[in-house]
Structure 1
């Protein structure tokens, strides 16, 4: 996901540079009075687009933050400055959340919590619940990222997997969610078709992983990585 986001940021920057070149040529053809007005507008535009070029907070990649203002009961630093992404840094990026599993706890109220957090970071988010809607939205070329939350029922629309593959092949980032069997169908079918692997099993996840330097070398811990920013 990070790689796709950075690529998209680069495309935005290139587009901005092209616009600057065009404006520059126009300035040379206008009068001095017009030139001053256009230059001022260009300076304003530059200040507006500068924020997305700094998408991550200064603590990016750090789990063990020792000088935080406060900590939660798990020892994680509290405060939005300890998140990986800066607030408002991802304006212009769109996420499609396709939720094919829900129950009394994982309902609309529950999914709204991460949606609200994503919006604070600047993302535009659309939440849908059917395969048909997902196919239509992915074909719109509006999204850079999609979340696929696997359901417990088999895939109903035969075009669903091919639409995901087309989205992924076009540079789209896919975040797959799967639970114990049978809550794996959408993730497993995509992985099987695209990479020849499947998801299966029923494991009780009653333990908690914690941060440890080089923790990825053994079980029970995770090492330092951007995705674990601020998490111990």
Structure 2
């Protein structure tokens, strides 16, 4: 089918595999070395635009630091725009140019229109990589998750350990399970100081699919993959955004971030989650 051929065009043959047979070299964290072990093929995503909204910053989270993730996305072909104010973000969002946005939370939102604009973007097929960290740097992510799914964020767990792959270990403390976003990863840094979700209802508990569980037993990474009948985009929630700059070179970080952005494009639909 056209869908399958498209997936083949943009995904490497190892897509969905964490434990890969015949790897010739590994990095210092024990993950396969080389971009052919990533989910996405180099250069295959040049049709897609990514908008990064960085609403938290400190002296370490500089433009120079953010350039590492941007450069890694560029290797896959993504065209990236990086902004640091809600005004710029909303202006860019209104162009309808972007398939994917990254939202890096801060301690408060400034523009009362922000939450509604993000909800609308997602409802109309836009995909979101939603980053939070320890309290209070959760606001943008928590507001969206609360309005969309009835989930809020809290907590400041000093994590700093490495999660390990276990095929069906999604809900097991210190593990992550099999999924496209973990292609080529058997060891994954969990984050520095991280938050956790709080569920308001039984329905909210099943709204996102947990793919990784922190060493404190709380969800670390979770995704939303809409049903085929939905107009919504995919979503990934990450509980510790300092991995984007302090821990970019720690276990699996760069590959996971890029893999997830490739997955968010949405090629393959629910087939990517059919094993769950």
Q: TM-score, normalised by structure 1?
A: 0.75
Equivalent residues in 2 for 1:25-174 (5 A)? 54-152=9-107, 154-174=108-128
Greater helix percent: which structure? 1
Structure 1 partner of 2:132: 178
Give the C-alpha shift of residue 107 in structure 1.
1.4
Give per-residue Cα distances to partners, 1:130-175, cap 9 Å, x unaligned.
00011111111000000000012x1111011111111111100011
Q: In structure 1, the residue corresponding to 2:50 is in which secondary structure?
A: strand
The alignment covers a number of residue pairs equal to 185
Q: In structure 2, the residue corresponding to 1:171 is in which secondary structure?
A: coil
Larger Rg: 1
Unaligned runs of 5+ in 2: 187-276
In 1: Cα distance, 2:175 partner to 2:7 partner: 32
In 2: Cα distance, 1:166 partner to 1:194 partner: 10
In 2: Cα distance, 1:217 partner to 1:51 partner: 31
In 2: Cα distance, 1:68 partner to 1:51 partner: 26
Q: In structure 1, the residue corresponding to 2:128 is in which secondary structure?
A: strand
Give the C-alpha shift of residue 229 in structure 1.
0.6
Give the C-alpha shift of residue 104 in structure 1.
2.1
Structure 1 partner of 2:159: 205
RMSD: 1.9
Unaligned runs of 5+ in 1: 1-8, 11-49
- The list of structure 1 runs, each at least 4 consecutive aligned residues, that deviate by more than 6 angstroms after superposition, is none
Structure 1 partner of 2:144: 190
Greater strand percent: which structure? 2
In 2: Cα distance, 1:189 partner to 1:208 partner: 28
